[in-house]
């Protein structure tokens, strides 16, 4: 049985996003239940490594300047594992691939992010965007063809890999999973009081990065000229524009900034509906966190959210970009909230990280014994 795993990632704590949350949670739960999961990640001066965390020298990333780019090196004190698991195809992903090859152990890669679709949003002034996208896909194909197994968090993400990247490596679905011990229904009264949230009207909201690919302007447009209370947690480069939009529309929107992870269950529990307009998700963990707290989700019918959110069970979808349809989906979800809440809570075990790691353990064992 596989006990020791070395994970290589180009993004990690203190950065907060779905990838860093997943790897940190996997590390904690794997070490509790199965053995040892070490994490190799870019050094940050604002984060103190814990046991089994191995920072490497890093520089500021050229496009995503809030991230650090780790140098493609392997810590000399990193134990030789049974499996190497890489979580990105960049510098540390390459270091992990090289390390696994030299150690003669299987290498698994998880596909977390749809890279090609984000190029246009990050480099809009460059004319040959299609060339950049083609180059990105060619590089990803070469990288993923070099590993022994690819995991994708959803069937949609697997289809994306097969149709666009087209690697020859086998692909298995392993949901990232969430911490259902933390994410559960709680009494939100204190949270509502602390942040002075108006709960006299239905509360809808979102938490996560404020960036163009999240399309949060659609939520504000949909809430304009309604009695909805909107609360948006998190931060990012789009926040000033979103605040200006809310002011211009005279929409009741409260921007909470980053919340401590311990506050998120109360945040989700305070919402009547969680709204997720993003279109480039490979899973959409925040939607599952909301569901685990009993809050239904209205999501764009795009990307993995078409599978993460189950129509009529854990929420509803709307056509991306259609504000009226989004408003109607919110109204429908509010009208059915009690039924949807019950169905959300019934699915808690299925979306737990414990379930995901059990799947991963089986795949690791199959690779190690092959």
* Domain spans, the chain: 4-177+352-369, 189-350
- 114 pLDDT above the threshold of 90: no
Residue 118 pLDDT more than 70?
no
Q: pLDDT at residue 127 above 80?
A: no
Tell me which of 58 and 18 has the higher pLDDT. 58
User: Which DSSP string corresponds to 159-203?
Assistant: HHIIIII--SS-EEE----B-TTTSS----HHHHHHTT---SS-E
Q: At residue 155, does pLDDT exceed 80?
A: yes
Whether the pLDDT of residue 3 is over 90: the answer is: yes
Provide CB contacts within 8 A for 29, sequence distance 6+. Answer: 353, 354, 357
Q: What is the pLDDT of residue 289?
A: 98
pTM greater than the 0.85 cutoff: yes
Q: What distance in Å separates the CA atoms of residue 234 and residue 248, rounded to the nearest whole number?
A: 21
Of 70-74, 132-136, 152-156, the least confident: 132-136
pLDDT band at residue 317 using 50, 70 and 90 as cut-offs: very high
Give the β-pairing of 58-60 and 68-70.
antiparallel
> CATH topology of 4-177+352-369 equal to that of 189-350?
yes
pLDDT band at 176 (very low <50, low <70, confident <90, very high): very high
Say if residue 119's pLDDT is above 60: no
pLDDT computed for residue 121 by the predictor: 54
**For residue 47, pLDDT beyond 60:** yes
CB within 8 Å of 131: residues ≥ 6 apart:
none
- The DSSP secondary-structure symbol of 212 reads G
Alpha carbon distance 155, 102 (integer Å): 32
pLDDT digits (tens, 9 = 90+) for 245-285: 999 999 999 999 999 999 999 999 999 999 999 998 989 99
Confidence bin at 16 (pLDDT 50/70/90): confident
* β-pair type (58-60, 53-56): unpaired
Looking at residue 242, what is its pLDDT? 98
Averaged pLDDT of the chain: 93
Looking at domain 4-177+352-369, does it have CATH number 3.40.50.300? Answer: no
pLDDT attached to residue 163: 94
Of the candidates 109, 103, 11, 99, which has an alpha carbon nearest to the alpha carbon of residue 55? 11
Does position 63 have pLDDT exceeding 70, yes or no? no
Q: What is the pLDDT of residue 17?
A: 85
Sign of the CA dihedral running 21, 22, 23, 29: positive
Superfamily of domain 189-350: Glycogen Phosphorylase B; (3.40.50.2000)
Task: Give the least confident one: 87-96, 130-139, 313-322.
Answer: 130-139
Residues with Cβ within 8 Å of residue 304, at least 6 apart in sequence: 153, 154, 156, 157, 281, 282, 283, 284
Longest Cα–Cα distance in the chain: 62
Q: What is the mean pLDDT of residues 143-149?
A: 98
Examine the pLDDT at 239 and tell me if it is beyond 80. Answer: yes
């Amino acid at each position: 049985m596989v006990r020791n795993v070395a994970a290589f990632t180009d993004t990690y704590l203190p950065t907060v996003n779905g990838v860093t949350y997943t790897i940190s949670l996997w590390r904690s739960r794997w070490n509790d239940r199965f053995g040892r999961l070490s994490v190799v990640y870019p050094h940050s001066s604002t984060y103190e490594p814990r046991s089994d965390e191995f920072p490497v020298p890093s520089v500021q990333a050229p496009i995503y300047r809030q991230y650090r780019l780790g140098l493609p090196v392997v810590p000399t004190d990193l134990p030789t594992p049974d499996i190497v698991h890489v979580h990105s195809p960049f510098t540390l992903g390459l270091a992990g691939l090289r390390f696994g090859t030299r150690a003669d152990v299987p290498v698994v890669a998880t596909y977390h992010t749809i890279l090609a679709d984000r190029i246009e949003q990050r480099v809009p002034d460059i004319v040959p965007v299609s060339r950049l996208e083609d180059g990105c896909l060619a590089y990803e194909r070469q990288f993923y063809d070099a590993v022994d197994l690819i995991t994708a968090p959803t069937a949609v993400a697997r289809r994306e890999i097969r149709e666009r990247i087209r690697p020859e490596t086998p692909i298995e679905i392993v949901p990232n999973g969430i911490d259902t011990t933390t994410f559960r229904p709680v009494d939100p009264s204190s949270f509502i009081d602390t942040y002075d949230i108006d709960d006299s009207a239905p509360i809808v909201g979102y938490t996560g990065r404020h960036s163009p690919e999240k399309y949060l302007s659609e939520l504000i447009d949909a809430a304009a000229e309604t009695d909805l209370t909107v609360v948006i947690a998190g931060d990012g480069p789009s926040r000033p524009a979103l605040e200006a939009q809310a002011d211009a529309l005279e929409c009741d929107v409260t921007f909470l900034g980053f919340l401590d992870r311990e506050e998120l269950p109360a945040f989700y529990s305070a919402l009547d509906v969680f709204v997720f307009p993003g279109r480039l998700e490979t899973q959409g963990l925040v939607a599952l966190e909301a569901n685990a707290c009993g809050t239904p989700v209205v999501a764009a019918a795009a990307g993995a959210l078409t599978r993460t959110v189950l129509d009529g069970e854990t929420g509803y979808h709307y056509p991306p970009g259609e504000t009226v349809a989004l408003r109607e989906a919110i109204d429908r979800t509010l009208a059915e909230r009690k039924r949807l809440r019950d169905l959300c809570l019934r699915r808690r075990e299925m979306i737990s990280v414990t379930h995901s790691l059990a799947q991963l353990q089986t795949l690791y064992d199959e690779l190690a014994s092959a």
